[in-house]
Amino acid sequence: MLKDKNIIVTGATRGIGKEIALTLAQNGANIAINYRNYNEEVEELINSIKEFGVEAIAVKCDVSKSDEVDNFISEVKNHFSSIDVLVNNAGITKDGLLLRMKDEDFNSVLDVNLKGTFNTTKSISPIMIKQKHGKIINISSVVGIVGNAGQCNYAASKAGVIGFSKSVARELASRNINVNVVAPGYIDTDMTKSLPDKVKDEILKSIPMKKMGNPKEVANLVLFLSSSLSDYITGQVINVDGGMVMA
């Protein structure tokens, strides 16, 4: 489905991002990932990707820093010669109630989740415009749609990603560049596994399908949006949430 496509996936060393990278590689794509600190997780992921018979590279990059992003995009371009898809998955949380939230906790979440998406999209756009095609897939969250107590910083960043993506989709549509958003709900990852059972039970009550999703279900949607099957889709927000949020 993605044979010989070159794809960047940010924040790919764990959770949803890791599953996205592996799923795209399994379907024939060469993968570039970023890391802040090289460790065993990065090395293992690169090796796992290569087992699918595709290329994989890892470049040191903090997406919140525009100079590092420019270097990252440049290195990937030089290595692969073209970049077909960008998946902006890098994200952090620093939860806390509004009255207790420190300025740095608010700012750092927006710097990575929203400004990071801006940095990579801005840096890669000239490349995609020149090659006359490209797909940008931004990972948001249902929290960016409905909000969540204790996550005003995260909700603001993910809502920002949605507004940003729709605006960029309008700017780049005539250049044959698709920009879409994937908004996961509660997905079974290491982060959710650590939640108390009581909290999990309350979460499940809010999901019509009465179960959490898994990273593969998010990755499969990213696979579709990365492929030619989605060529006439742009500016859309697609939830993967078991029906928790219905517009």
Binding residues are 11-14, 89, 154-158, 187
- Catalytic member of 38, 154, 186, 232: 154
Neighbours of 37 (CB within 10 A): 9
Q: Could you list the residues known to form a binding site for NADP(+), using ranges.
A: 11-14, 89, 154-158, 187
143 Cβ partners below 8 Å, 6+ apart? 151, 154, 155, 158
In this structure, what token pair is assigned to residue 36?
Answer: 């802040």
| 151, 143 Cβ separation under 8 angstroms | yes
Residue identified by tokens 């998955």 is 89
Q: Cβ atoms within 10 A of the Cβ of 231, count?
A: 11
HSE-CB at 138 with a 13 A cutoff on CA atoms is: 35
Q: What are 197's two structure tokens? A: 């059972």
3-state secondary structure of 127: helix
3-state secondary structure (DSSP) of residue 176 = coil
Neighbours of 233 (CB within 10 A): 15
Distance CA(155)–CA(14), nearest Å, equals 21
The yes-or-no answer on residue 232 being catalytic is no
Residues serving a catalytic function are 154
